[in-house]
Structure 1
Amino acid sequence: MTSIDLGRPVQGDVVDLILDDHRRFEALLRDLRDSSSDRDAVRRALSALHVAHALAEEKHVYPKLRRKGAVSEHEAEHGEEEHAEGHQALLAVLELKGTDTQAFDDAVEELAKVINHHLTEEELTILNPAREEVGEQARAELGDLFVKERNAQLDADCGSLAQVREIVAAAERAGKLDDDEDDSEE
């Protein structure tokens, strides 16, 4: 468990809740780059939030938005692939012993690149359509499902090193992690 506050929302519009987490990711990445911060605590907090957020989106948000026609199957699958890439980059940061090495800085830079790319793309291709094509009530109901799952995952210590290793291994088995860096973007 981590001492860094990751927020415990209990309800809200799913788009706003996801955006709140996106801003938390950006703040945690800034703290991870800051050599004067408790980088070990920050990486544990980032891991917990990344895993909880991704699992909640994949379990509730993406399937519901697909059923409502707000996002395509391709967009949902691409989001899951980007979550897997984020978990993989996160694992590289978690597995490093020290937090004051060039290897750590390099791993953090890669993690930031992967997460920032995903945040931008998700906000453009998933959250905008959700805003425009899904009604307020449905977004609120989806927000409830999202926060319940997110908070339950946080309570279950979802971002542990062992858990992230298992998530990455499962993503590899499922073919969500390609070796080629850039698969064709539309």
Structure 2
Amino acid sequence: MDTDVVELILADHRRFEDLFRELRSSEGDRRTALAELAGLLVAHAEAEETQVYPALRRLGAADGEEVEHGSEEHDEGHRALLALLEVGEPGGSGWDEALEELSGAITHHLDEEERTLLNDARERLTRDRRGALGAEFARMRARLLDSGCGGVEQVRELVRRAGS
């Protein structure tokens, strides 16, 4: 398995896009897709903020402003995720609006992160360094996913901690 941190993050980004398509479809299992999306969004963001962002900054592959902006966008995504989780029944009243709010926030973040932080990481970090960082990211992400990090109470706590 490739542990290049850039490739691992990009794979998660593509999975987010797939899950948003599933959540928009009335034919799929939206509850399962939402549970997967919630867990993956939280685990991905937390692993980036604790493992990837600090290392990119320390290694000179990102500046403080880029890192802070990425963290702020994670907070925005958590708020939008919480709003969707609190709608209740997939397809119910407020579902489409909350889903599009979340999708818009996440899509914006993915686009910016791919054009800035990830391109900078490709250019400024060796393949070995990206591999080591990817292994740390993957371990943290897996631990968080195993802990059920995408539950509504866990997301509420993230939003509360962010001061929202």
TM bucket normalised to smaller: over 0.9
Deviation at 1:11, TM superposition (A): 5.1
Q: Which runs of 4+ in 1 moved over 3 A?
A: none
1:97 aligns with 2:79: no
Aligned length: 164
**Percentage of matched positions with identical amino acids:** 52
Tell me, in whole angstroms, the C-alpha distance in 2 between the residues paired with 1:100 and 1:147: 33
String of CA shifts for 1:138-157, please: whole Å, max 9, x gaps: 00000000000000000000
String of CA shifts for 1:74-131, please: whole Å, max 9, x gaps: 1001000000100110001101122122410110011100000000000011000000
Tell me, in whole angstroms, the C-alpha distance in 2 between the residues paired with 1:126 and 1:28: 23
Tell me, in whole angstroms, the C-alpha distance in 1 between the residues paired with 2:143 and 2:150: 12
Q: Which amino acid aligns with 1:80?
A: S
Between Structure 1 and Structure 2, the one with more helix by share is: 2
Q: Which amino acid aligns with 1:30?
A: R
Q: Compute the TM-score of the two structures, normalised by the length of structure 2.
A: 0.97
Tell me, in whole angstroms, the C-alpha distance in 2 between the residues paired with 1:44 and 1:93: 11
Tell me what 1:81 maps to: 72
Q: Compute the TM-score of the two structures, normalised by the length of structure 1.
A: 0.86
Structure 1 unaligned residues grouped into runs of 5+: 1-9, 178-186
Q: Structure 2 matches for 1:171-182, cutoff 5 A?
A: 171-172=162-163
1:119 aligns with 2:110: yes
1:137 paired residue among 108, 128, 138: 128
Contact residue 11 and residue 144 of structure 1 kept, 8 A? no
1:28 aligns with 2:19: yes
Structure 2 unaligned residues grouped into runs of 5+: none
Q: CA RMSD in A?
A: 1.0
1:38 paired residue among 26, 29, 33: 29
Tell me what 2:56 maps to: 65
Tell me what 1:158 maps to: 149
Q: Which has the higher contact order (CA 8 A, sep 6+)?
A: 2
Tell me what 2:8 maps to: 17
